[in-house]
Amino acid sequence: MDSDLDDKSREELLAELVKLRNAVRAHRDSSGHNLCWHHPDLWNLLPEKSSVNPIVPEWPVFLRGCLKYRQSLDEQLPDAPRSDKEFSGRDGA
């Protein structure tokens, strides 16, 4: 699956590693409403392209999942700062 790496030089491999680390950092540093979005930019860093669309849960199921995710943040990050900022669109999240 990762045979595209076989012929890369050390410098090319290091550049790829830095690119991937930066993408993981961007994902890690998502905050606020951006935590709720999927990240195709991250997936597009893989050499194999995929046209698979995610399965989207129906609204009631989706919202229950959102609540569980938010509850898990309370459990895992009880001291994290909180915000009351309303969602204003993906770019302005």
Boundaries of every domain in the chain: 7-78
Query: Is pLDDT of 93 > 60?
Result: no
pTM of the model: 0.73
DSSP string for the chain:
--GGGTT--HHHHHHHHHHHHHHHHHHHT--GGGGGS--HHHHTTSSS---PPPPPPPHHHHHHHHHHHHHHHHHH-TTS----PPP--GGG-
What confidence tens digit (pLDDT) does each residue in 15-30 have? 999 999 999 999 889 9
